A and B are shown apart, each in its own frame.
Chain A
Amino acid sequence: MSQVLHTPPHSPAPADEDDLAALAARHGLTVSGARPSLPEYVRQLWERRHFITAFATAKLTAQYSQAKLGQVWQVMTPLLNAAVYYFIFGVLLGTKKHVPDYIPFLVTGVFIWTFTQSSIMAGTRAISGNLGLVRALHFPRAALPISFALQQLQQLLFSMAALFVILICFGVPVSVSWLLVIPALFLQFTFNAGVSMIMARMGAKTPDIAQLMPFILRTWMYLSGVMWSISKLTKGDHLPRAVTIALETNPAAVYIDLMRYALIDSFHSSQLPPHVWAAATGWALLAGVGGFIYFWKAEETYGRG
């Protein structure tokens, strides 16, 4: 049916623009969709904390609900991952010979790295992959990247359960230092959530970044000593000082080595980079606070255009 648009039969009273703005101001109306102040934003986010946790848990549960083995995959997936790396690096390339307790060493590295890697990957798509949600409901958008990071943390806790079993099977003694896992994970989670928020903002503006991330992340993984020992490489003076410092302060390497130090008794404090706890806290604060503010700065633009 094609109709010509006639002149409106009844034109709505063309109210003066100043009048409307003044009317709105008089009754204390606010501009729709404006960005809240930072303290207000934090308050709103805190109010949605139950949504953040429920969304993370729901995503985690939904992940394997179609599989026959169901939630068993939560533990199976990281184990299979570790098995593949063991086969390639431990058996084929023979890294095994240079590192004591190689399997615990490797599995810890793989699990801790996967935590950071998948948080960042999920963060990159947090906004661009959930436009439907962003366009339909009001909530502080930071809830999404944080929720995805939390989902990865829950996933890691499943992996950690498997890891403890592996450790005990390979004769690593249970010790008090295992308690260090808690602060180490807390710091790493803060770091991951912060980087996720940075990537979420970039991914929202340029979704193409999601295509690049796997390559960047894989390069980062090989530089982070996931399946080889950084301290073995940096021993002696054959490497330039700058390279050594860069390798040792790499946040992924810091968190991985902290976890190895906490769990594996043959991994001594001498193998840790200098000032490791300071570095771990510094990275967490820098990424966490910086990422949050960076993300908030573009709050009103998410899901638009």
Chain B
Amino acid sequence: MAEQTIEYHTERTPVAADSTIPTVVCDGVDIIYRVNGTGAGRGSATAALNRMLRREKAEKAAGVRTVHAVKKVSFVAYKGEAIGLIGTNGSGKSTLLKAVAGLLPVENGRIFTHGQPSLLGVNAALMGDLTGERNVYLGGLAMGMSREQIKERYDSIVDFSGINEKGDFITLPMRTYSSGMGARLRFSIAAAKDHDVLLIDEALATGDRSFQRRSEERIRELRQHAGTVFLVSHNNKSIRDTCDRVLWLERGELRMDGPTEEVLEAYEAFTGGADKPKEKAGQAA
């Protein structure tokens, strides 16, 4: 297993970042969430009435709270790069990813992209009452693949997920799957499509060890086809294995942007170096 890990590292280098072609440009991006119905003290019915009657004026009085999730973030991502997004919980990583995908509005600034960035994930399109087989088709179609493309890749999707390793499970409804099996099939469907700009949110944390290894490999493959890959993860190891550049977000601000090792070391020092005792010593010094 140790040999394989070394192999990954050597494999990483051939995907050279082409620093001349930008694929994602984030230009001073602010993202603000508005949450209804947080009015404290008064009955929420009054708060709701207030909200309807006095719209803009009394947003605060009516219990609308704003959460400034991402603050003035600017960066340029280039073709061939794999970029990790790190930060403690609630630091705005997933929010930024959704905005890059064009699924959340930005308050200020703009995000420019090459083609349509897509989030890796089809969970929402799948239905537990349908068989795994039908979900492969449904998920593929939802991601914009054609029927022929899915038919072509169907076997490799099922093989990759390993669903049929323990019997003919692909013809059973997905709700009968264990959570691990479900997660594996979902990842396999999502990873079946090639993307211009691929955004991955903690997808690697699913499944058993051998499946995790396979999915890391698949992400490297996708990266070779895709222009750019963004990966949000709390697993510093998978960031090290997949990314060559890391953005560190903290409380919505871009705190650091640089080569993986450099940023991860600073981040591990910040979080108390939970991963390696070596970093703890560095922090003390």
List A residues at the B interface (Cβ < 8 Å). Answer: 1, 3, 5, 8-10, 12, 14-15, 17, 20-21, 23-24, 27-34, 47-48, 50-51, 54-55, 58-59, 61-62, 65-66, 130, 132-139, 300-301, 303-305
Of B39-47, B143-151, B206-214, B217-225, the one touching chain A: B143-151
Tell whether, in the assembled complex, residue B144 and residue A27 are in contact, meaning their CB atoms are under 8 Å apart.
no
Q: A5, A24, A32 — which one has the most chain B CB atoms within 10 A of its CB?
A: A32
Q: A9, A301, A304 — which one has the most chain B CB atoms within 10 A of its CB?
A: A9
Tell whether, in the assembled complex, residue A48 and residue B144 are in contact, meaning their CB atoms are under 8 Å apart.
yes
Whose C-beta in chain A lies nearest to the C-beta of B28?
A17
- A137: which of B114, B124, B134 is its contact (CB, 8 Å)? B124
Residues of B within 8 A of A24 (CB): 22, 25, 27, 110, 112
Q: Measured between alpha carbons, how far is A193 from B101 in the docked complex, in Å?
A: 28
Tell whether, in the assembled complex, residue B74 and residue A15 are in contact, meaning their CB atoms are under 8 Å apart.
yes
- B183 located at the interface, meaning its Cβ lies under 8 Å from any Cβ of chain A in the complex: no
Tell whether, in the assembled complex, residue B119 and residue A137 are in contact, meaning their CB atoms are under 8 Å apart.
yes
- A58: which of B101, B127, B270 is its contact (CB, 8 Å)? B127
Chain B interface, DSSP helix/strand/loop, else mixed: mixed
Residues of A within 8 A of B98 (CB): 135
Known: A5-B250, A12-B74, A12-B254. A305 touches B138 (CB 8 A): no
Q: Measured between alpha carbons, how far is A300 from B27 in the docked complex, in Å?
A: 20
Q: Measured between alpha carbons, how far is A134 from B75 in the docked complex, in Å?
A: 26
- B281 located at the interface, meaning its Cβ lies under 8 Å from any Cβ of chain A in the complex: no
Known: A32-B117, A65-B173. A139 touches B144 (CB 8 A): yes
Query: What's the nearest-Cβ distance from chain B to residue A140, in Å?
Result: 10
Known: A24-B112, A31-B112, A136-B119. A1 touches B272 (CB 8 A): yes
- Given A23-B76, A29-B112, A139-B144, 18 additional A-B pairs, CB 8 A: A8-B253, A12-B75, A12-B256, A20-B26, A20-B28, A20-B76, A24-B25, A30-B113, A31-B111, A33-B103, A55-B125, A55-B142, A58-B134, A65-B130, A133-B124, A135-B98, A138-B101, A304-B104
Q: B25, B130, B257 — which one has the most chain A CB atoms within 10 A of its CB?
A: B25
Tell whether, in the assembled complex, residue B27 and residue A136 are in contact, meaning their CB atoms are under 8 Å apart.
no
Q: Measured between alpha carbons, how far is A134 from B104 in the docked complex, in Å?
A: 11
Tell whether, in the assembled complex, residue B104 and residue A133 are in contact, meaning their CB atoms are under 8 Å apart.
no
- B21 located at the interface, meaning its Cβ lies under 8 Å from any Cβ of chain A in the complex: yes
- B187 located at the interface, meaning its Cβ lies under 8 Å from any Cβ of chain A in the complex: no
- B130: which of A30, A48, A58, A138 is its contact (CB, 8 Å)? A58
- B114: which of A27, A34, A48, A54 is its contact (CB, 8 Å)? A27
Query: What's the nearest-Cβ distance from chain A to residue B11, in Å?
Result: 28
Query: What's the nearest-Cβ distance from chain B to residue A24, in Å?
Result: 4
Tell whether, in the assembled complex, residue A138 and residue B271 are in contact, meaning their CB atoms are under 8 Å apart.
no
Tell whether, in the assembled complex, residue B146 and residue A50 are in contact, meaning their CB atoms are under 8 Å apart.
yes
Tell whether, in the assembled complex, residue A32 and residue B100 are in contact, meaning their CB atoms are under 8 Å apart.
yes
Whose C-beta in chain A lies nearest to the C-beta of B143?
A137
Tell whether, in the assembled complex, residue B257 and residue A12 are in contact, meaning their CB atoms are under 8 Å apart.
yes
